[in-house]
A and B are shown apart, each in its own frame.
Chain A
């Protein structure tokens, strides 16, 4: 059996017939009608982009800056474009605009020559001119102020909790004598006399004997100092 592909291999007849149906598929009529216009528009855009790239190339810019710009065709190469651009001369404001130009200019010149108004005067003027904008700004300021205060308070609370957690965990040894108060002993501590006569061991940097500590470990094992023979 030959492995060479046959162009009209009968085993593909069905597939060929199926694919032949694709020939009946047509694009929408409006696409075909506008195809040429769309093509010309896109071509013109791309050619304009090419011209812009050439016009703005660094090499040309450099030559222009150095005064050695290339020789280029003159007006004779663009007669129709020049006539078209000349039509722009018809586009201008109404004559009344130019009649009042000098008056507006003198008014602005006078305003610029006057000494600047005081800050409060300018503020008052702007407020009276734009009350709605002022109200919006005022609300924004108030909101920002309230949020800032709330955030600060929350931050303060969380900061205090963190500081408390960071303090070394105290070890409390039950007093040997029932009347003796609980002693708090820290590693790397110093002893401070409490007002009730007890001795409190405080962490470095803490001098106040009434500091409130959060204790996470209390040793309730009684310490027995009775004489024993287990020496």
Chain B
């Protein structure tokens, strides 16, 4: 299973699948779900840092999409539309569970390949089982730091630095300007740089 670093816009033509799904072809909607489930789940998980919440919200996103497929006009691409549903669902959830979210971090599995990543090796010194512990601890610290950001700032960091979307794509999803996306990204990174200082090399 490849890591979802490929740009979303390169995933192919969704329009035909949407048309088939509208014509009550369940296989077409299933195909759309298969295409986007990892990305949608990933976005929500990095926003909530909780597997159960991410699972529930990801399903809710696709259910809303299915129920509102007839409202999808095709002015924007399907991925922008489904991402927007996911983002709105998640932000609403975070706003209504503001107090809870900070106390319910749950760690998803960490892909073993992280231990071969040069950036991971550079930041941790463990090997073997110690390396796995280090990977879990690093992910936990990343989650804690991300949860300290406001939902708006966390969203742009998640979509840009983790999911690999472009400024323009994020602007479309969040219904804001690219300047706003850049600004939020900058101020979010300033905070993260302080919160994750121990994992970052000293500046010369």
Interface size, chain A (Cβ < 8 Å): 50
Which residues on B sit within 8 Å (CB–CB) of A93? 41, 51, 108-109
**Interface-centre pick from A68, A72, A91 (highest chain B CB count, 10 A):** A91
| A44 lies within 8 A of chain B by Cβ | yes
Which residues on B sit within 8 Å (CB–CB) of A97? 55
Interfacial residues of chain A within 97-142, with CB under 8 A of chain B in the complex: 97-98, 101-102, 104-106, 108-109, 112
Residues A102 and B161 in contact in the complex (CB < 8 Å), given A67-B179, A93-B51: no
User: Which of the segments A12-20, A50-58, A182-190 contacts the partner chain?
Assistant: A50-58
Are B189 and A91 touching (Cβ within 8 A)? no
Chain A proximity of B115: nearest CB distance (Å)? 9
Which residues on A sit within 8 Å (CB–CB) of B42? 89, 92
Whole-angstrom distance between the alpha carbons of A77 and B187 in the complex?
A: 12
Are A69 and B179 touching (Cβ within 8 A)? yes
Given A71-B179, A83-B119; 7 other pairs, CB 8 A cutoff: A77-B189, A80-B200, A86-B161, A88-B139, A91-B139, A92-B45, A105-B59
Whole-angstrom distance between the alpha carbons of A90 and B45 in the complex?
A: 12
Are B142 and A85 touching (Cβ within 8 A)? yes
Chain B proximity of A165: nearest CB distance (Å)? 52
Chain A proximity of B20: nearest CB distance (Å)? 16
| A40 lies within 8 A of chain B by Cβ | yes
Q: Which of B33, B55, B187 contacts A54 (CB 8 A)?
A: B187
| A82 lies within 8 A of chain B by Cβ | yes
User: Residues of A with Cβ closer than 8 Å to B?
Assistant: 40, 44-45, 47-48, 51-52, 54-56, 60, 63-65, 67-74, 77-78, 80-95, 97-98, 101-102, 104-106, 108-109, 112
Whole-angstrom distance between the alpha carbons of A81 and B201 in the complex?
A: 9
Interfacial residues of chain B within 38-91, with CB under 8 A of chain A in the complex: 38, 41-42, 45-46, 51, 55, 58-59, 62-63, 66
Whole-angstrom distance between the alpha carbons of A71 and B1 in the complex?
A: 38
Are B148 and A70 touching (Cβ within 8 A)? no
Is chain A's interface secondary structure helix, strand, loop, or mixed overall?
helix
Q: What are 5 pairs between A and B in contact, CB < 8 Å? A: A67-B179, A69-B177, A74-B186, A98-B37, A98-B38
Chain A residue with the shortest CB-CB distance to B193: A81
Are B193 and A78 touching (Cβ within 8 A)? yes
Are B200 and A105 touching (Cβ within 8 A)? no
Whole-angstrom distance between the alpha carbons of A84 and B121 in the complex?
A: 11
Complex A-B, nearest 7 residue pairs according to Cβ-Cβ distance, in ascending order? A55-B187, A69-B183, A72-B186, A48-B194, A90-B114, A90-B111, A85-B161
